[in-house]
């Protein structure tokens, strides 16, 4: 039974070795291990906090982007409205100008027609006067004895005359 019961010397040296191992582990292993665990824990907390801050910043940026987009849409709508108003104004001005120009052209054409009409009447009057003078000259040159000959001469002269 010697094998099952340990001796005092073995227990003493095992205990001394165990305590020495605990002191050495505490001094050289546990402190660095605990220190690295605490550093890791701190870095995880910092990462979580940074992620939370980044999430907040992203939501803020998203809100800012939506605000900027809405402002840009409003500005675009405003510019489109101004462009439409300018287009309508230009079209209306062009219509008014074309109506005015058309009226001027029509009035000018009427005036030209009136002038041409007056000129044509004057020309006809001059031709009639010339024809009358020619007829009178021919009548005076020819001696007419009676009314019958005068009538025949007038009829023949009228047949000879062509109106232009």
Residue 62 falls inside a structural domain:
yes
The DSSP letter of residue 2 is T
SS3 assignment for 40-95 = HHHHHHHHHHHHHHHHHHHHHHHHHHHHHHHHHHHHHHHHHHHHHHHHHHHHHHHH
Predicted local distance difference test score (pLDDT) of residue 76: 95
Predicted local distance difference test score (pLDDT) of residue 162: 64
Residue 80 falls inside a structural domain:
yes
* The two structure tokens encoding residue 116: 């041409």
Domain interval for residue 96: 8-160
Residue 2 falls inside a structural domain:
no
Burial 21-49 (b: 16+ CB within 10 A, else e): eeeeeeeeeeeeeeeeeeeeeeeeeeeee
> How many domains would you assign to the chain?
1
Residue 1 falls inside a structural domain:
no
Residue 3 falls inside a structural domain:
no
* Residues 82, 116: Cα–Cα separation, whole Å: 50
- CA dist 34 → 28, 38, 46 (Å): 11, 6, 18
Instruction: Tell the burial category of 114 from Cβ atoms under 10 Å away from its Cβ (0-12, 13-18, 19+).
Output: exposed
Helix, strand, coil % in the chain, rounded to nearest 5 = 90, 0, 10
State the CB neighbour count (10 A cutoff) for residue 131.
Answer: 14
Task: List per-residue pLDDT tens for the chain, 164 residues long.
Answer: 566 677 888 889 999 999 999 888 888 888 888 888 999 999 999 999 999 999 999 999 999 999 999 999 999 999 999 999 999 999 999 999 999 999 999 999 999 999 999 999 989 888 888 888 787 777 666 655 567 777 777 777 777 776 54
């Amino acid at each position: 039974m010697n094998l099952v019961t340990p001796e005092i010397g073995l227990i003493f040296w095992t205990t001394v070795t165990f305590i020495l191992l605990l002191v050495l582990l505490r001094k050289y292993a546990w402190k660095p291990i605990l220190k690295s665990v605490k550093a890791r824990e701190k870095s995880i907390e910092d990462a979580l906090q940074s992620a939370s801050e980044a999430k907040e910043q992203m939501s803020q940026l998203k809100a800012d982007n939506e605000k900027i987009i809405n402002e840009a849409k409003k500005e675009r709508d405003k510019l489109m409205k101004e462009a439409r108003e300018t287009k309508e104004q230009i079209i209306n001005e062009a219509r008014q100008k074309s109506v005015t120009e058309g009226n001027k052209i029509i009035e000018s054409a009427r005036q030209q027609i009136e002038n041409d009409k007056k000129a044509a009447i004057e020309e006809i009057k001059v031709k009639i006067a010339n024809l009358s003078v020619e007829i009178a000259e021919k009548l005076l040159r020819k001696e007419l004895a009676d009314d019958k000959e005068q009538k025949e001469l007038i009829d023949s002269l009228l047949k000879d005359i062509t109106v232009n």
